[in-house]
């Protein structure tokens, strides 16, 4: 029997109300993962549902793994195979049904880098300059074409062009050429990109009644995590999978955490759900287990300014906790210095670990000034959101070799490693082989194989390619009876890949290679009969970074708020809370204020015990504007904050009342105190651009100030806002 005694009354109702459509509005830190996993266990253990017939959809592989692990703890001998992201679920469906749209079930799924390789090949074949439309932008355009079902041949207006992100009909010609050949290459190579996983599943379920009926009968119960992140096509796929006779669907999410509209999520998804399923039971989880009362007071104050939301206020039985601190600093340097001072005190005096602390910011570029000060103070840190493990050069190289062991005709894998390690096969040779294949209507692999024949006239030097093909043949023979991990080690040995990394001065990347071997060995432990093909299929959709755990566990975490979603830390610093930075402004205009507020809300609710909010004065070299405190500070209500200052004393402080949420007056200059300041020779001041300096002369309203090299002595207006004086 399951122990349900630790659930609160709202959680218990959500776990046990099992029939018909249910929508759970679950605030941050209210135990939604516990509810989801307990509900799956309840369906199986208490109600007797077949675990093979339960579908649980998550939005990250990390969340899927956590759900599996929690269910395994509750029900040790039960396997629930249908837990995964929309892409992972669609992949499994397509393996069974993709033949209905002309693909083979052993299709390959390519990632962003492989897409880029295909696009660049098409550019070369079409003699297209990357200056016309950069390949990365072309990938985005193709994604819009596919996901929005745009008929490129029917585009005839400038508005239609702009919706794709292109601005001339000359560019449209390039897009048509590349899109047509990109799709042709995917089809001829039996390849799908990530968008195709959703689109093809949607197409099959929509158009094939028998297949749709099969899956609707197959899934007796469907659960969806992070429902606020669902986009339109995902919602339609969900609707196709729900059995209309039972409508046993359970969606959990928080509209206040809808922060991915830029990639398709939309705030009205909850209304669409309620419209689609009229008899939906709506339940609200608002008892927070994560944060202190003081932190929740600030978070609730902020998000209550949003009008398009399902109203709820988080409460908690946790202690009141320490006050939330807001620090106004006179420069980014002092802002970073304040953060570091607090971290040092927390670790030395309050006995926190570095790993208890995270520094969040709105955009990646904002980490630079923080990193610099962390290094100066010898504080270890780890930045999340860099290249994912399976996208690193050395990992992609070795996986390409493994793929060739399974399929030596794979064009993408061949092109990736044909000259890795270097074997005198340059881009010119590869281009010639590609061009020959195109003109003679054959695959790249078939054209390469002509290098082994003496009776065919080719346009490239055959010897290096002959050696490469012999190497692949030798490796296939050597690895035929080996496990995937042993096969990889054989590849590394025969290709001398470790020596290759050393020759590039990439010896540090060898740790990643060892991590890959360990990952494959872990796969083998779970799948004793596992094959190279099986492993490659398993990692197709794996997107979580594989960190070196030791480094992570001994470091302060740095990341954007988007990366931080779903995590929690004992201490959170939310840095660079400046107007124009957070909320983001484009050309001086904040475009989606409600979403920006939700993003800030997500940041605040990551904090468990302590929350620090920081901003700086001065001038932003990114937004090219003066820096002012974010309007969000006033919306949080400064009565809820402990306000401190750091660094210099401004000759005229910014008043936090500059912004009124109900009437957005924006004359920032008027908020400065124009009263004169009695400077004296010898005073130490700071300038927002020139840094620290000493007054060496005063004449009427002008100051002569000596700055460090390379600036020297400058004469500046005495009361200019750029000048600030040291606190006495």
Residue positions annotated with a catalytic role: 32-33, 225-226, 257, 606
CA nearest to 714, candidates 700, 725, 727, 692:
692
CB atoms within 10 A of CB 544: 14
Using CA atoms, how far residue 674 sits from 246, 435, 677, 682, 718, in Å, is: 70, 71, 9, 23, 11
H helix intervals, 575-640: 593-604, 631-636
8 A C-beta contact, residue 605 and residue 391? no
Secondary element (H or E) of residue 209: helix 209-218
CA distance 21 to 40: 15
**Bridge partners, residue 723, by sequence:** 687
CA nearest to 608, candidates 24, 28, 11:
28
Q: Is 636 exposed, middle or buried (0-12, 13-18, 19+ CB in 10 A)?
A: buried
8 A C-beta contact, residue 362 and residue 582? yes
CA distance 711 to 726: 20
Angle at 618 between CA 614 and CA 623, to 5 degrees: 90
Q: Is the sign of the CA dihedral 707, 712, 716, 722 positive or negative?
A: negative
CA distance 336 to 703: 29
Query: Over the Cα atoms of the chain, what is R_g?
Result: 29
Q: How far is CA 285 from the centre of its chain?
A: 26
CA distance 385 to 682: 46
DSSP state of 580: B
CA distance 84 to 327: 42
* Token pair recorded at residue 634: 């006033």
Secondary element (H or E) of residue 399: helix 393-406
Q: Is 393 exposed, middle or buried (0-12, 13-18, 19+ CB in 10 A)?
A: middle
**CB within 8 A of 238, min separation 6: which ones?**
57, 222, 224, 230, 249
| Phi and psi angles of residue 589, each rounded to the nearest 5 degrees, phi first | -115, 130
8 A C-beta contact, residue 684 and residue 694? yes
CA nearest to 63, candidates 84, 89, 42:
84
CB atoms within 10 A of CB 477: 9
CA distance 31 to 8: 10
CA nearest to 196, candidates 297, 111, 286:
111
CA distance 225 to 601: 19
DSSP string for 698-716 = EETTEEEEEESTTT-EEEE
3-state secondary structure of 478: helix
CA nearest to 197, candidates 540, 468, 554:
540
3-state secondary structure of 679: coil
**Bridge partners, residue 23, by sequence:** 251, 282
Sheet with 221-224, side-by-side order of all strands? 83-85, 54-58, 221-224, 249-253, 22-26, 281-285
Cis-peptide, bond into residue 710, ω within 30° of zero: yes
């Amino acid at each position: 029997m399951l122990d349900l005694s630790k659930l609160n009354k709202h959680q218990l109702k959500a776990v046990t109300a099992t029939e018909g459509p249910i929508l759970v509005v679950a605030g941050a830190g209210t135990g939604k993962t516990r509810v989801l996993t307990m509900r799956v266990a309840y369906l199986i253990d208490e109600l007797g549902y077949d675990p093979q017939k339960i579908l649980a959809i998550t939005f990250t592989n990390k969340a899927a793994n956590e759900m599996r692990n929690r269910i395994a703890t509750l029900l040790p001998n039960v396997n629930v195979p249908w837990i995964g992201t929309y892409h992972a679920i669609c992949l499994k469906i397509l393996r069974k049904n993709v033949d209905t749209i002309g693909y083979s079930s052993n299709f390959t799924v390519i990632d962003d880098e492989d897409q880029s390789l295909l696009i660049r090949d098409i550019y070369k074949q079409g003699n297209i300059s990357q200056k016309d439309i950069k390949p990365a932008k072309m990938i985005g355009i193709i994604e819009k074409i596919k996901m929005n079902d745009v008929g490129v041949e029917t585009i005839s207006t400038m508005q239609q062009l702009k919706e794709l992100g292109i601005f001339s009909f000359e560019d449209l010609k390039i897009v048509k050429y590349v899109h047509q050949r990109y799709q042709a290459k995917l089809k001829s190579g039996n390849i799908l990109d990530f968008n195709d996983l959703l689109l093809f599943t949607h197409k099959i379920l929509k158009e094939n009644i028998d297949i749709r009926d099969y899956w609707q009968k197959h899934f007796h119960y469907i659960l969806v995590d992070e429902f606020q992140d669902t986009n339109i096509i995902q919602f339609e796929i969900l609707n196709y999978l729900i059995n209309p006779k039972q409508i046993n669907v359970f969606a959990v999410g928080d509209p206040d955490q809808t922060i991915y509209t830029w990639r398709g999520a939309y705030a009205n998804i909850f209304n669409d759900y309620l419209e689609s399923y009229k008899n939906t039971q709506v339940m609200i989880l608002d008892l927070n287990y994560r944060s202190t009362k003081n932190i929740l007071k600030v978070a609730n104050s902020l998000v209550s300014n949003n009008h398009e939301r399902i109203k709820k206020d988080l409460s908690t039985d946790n202690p009141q906790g320490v006050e939330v601190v807001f620090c106004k600093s006179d420069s980014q340097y002092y802002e970073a210095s304040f953060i570091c001072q607090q971290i040092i005190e927390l670790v030395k005096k309050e006995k926190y670990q570095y790993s208890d602390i995270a520094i969040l910011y709105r955009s990646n570029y904002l980490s630079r000034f923080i990193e610099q000060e962390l290094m100066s103070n010898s504080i270890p840190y780890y930045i999340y959101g860099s290249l994912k493990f399976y996208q690193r050069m050395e990992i992609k190289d070795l996986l390409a070799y493994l793929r060739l062991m399974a399929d030596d005709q794979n064009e993408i894998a061949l092109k990736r490693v044909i000259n890795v390690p270097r074997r005198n096969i340059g881009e010119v040779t590869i281009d010639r082989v590609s061009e020959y294949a195109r003109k003679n209507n054959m695959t790249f692999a078939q054209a390469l194989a002509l290098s082994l024949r003496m009776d065919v006239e080719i346009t490239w030097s055959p010897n290096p390619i002959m050696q490469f093909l012999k190497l692949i043949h030798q490796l296939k023979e050597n690895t035929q009876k080996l496990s995937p991990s042993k096969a990889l080690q054989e590849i590394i040995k025969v290709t001398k890949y470790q020596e290759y990394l050393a020759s590039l001065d990439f010896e540090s990347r060898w740790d990643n290679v060892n991590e890959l071997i360990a990952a494959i060995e872990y796969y083998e432990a779970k799948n004793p009969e596992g094959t190279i093909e099986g492993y490659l299929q398993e990692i197709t959709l794996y997107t979580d970074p594989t960190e070196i755990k030791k480094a992570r566990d001994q470091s302060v975490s740095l990341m954007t708020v988007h990366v931080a979603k779903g995590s929690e830390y004992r201490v959170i610093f939310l840095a660079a809370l400046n107007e124009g930075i957070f909320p983001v402004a484009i050309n001086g205009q904040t475009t989606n204020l409600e979403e920006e507020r939700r993003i800030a809300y997500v940041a605040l609710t990551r904090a468990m015990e302590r929350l620090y909010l920081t901003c700086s004065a001065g001038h932003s070299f990114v937004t090219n504007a003066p820096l002012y405190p974010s309007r969000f500070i006033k919306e949080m209500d400064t009565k809820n904050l402990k306000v401190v200052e750091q660094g210099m004393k401004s000759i005229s402080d910014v008043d936090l009342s500059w912004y009124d949420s109900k009437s957005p007056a924006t004359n920032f200059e008027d908020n400065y105190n124009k009263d004169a300041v009695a400077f004296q020779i010898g005073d130490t001041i700071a300038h927002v651009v020139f840094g620290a300096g000493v007054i060496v002369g005063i004449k009427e309203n002008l100051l002569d100030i000596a700055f460090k090299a390379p600036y020297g002595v400058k004469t500046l207006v005495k009361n200019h806002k750029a000048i600030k004086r040291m606190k006495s």
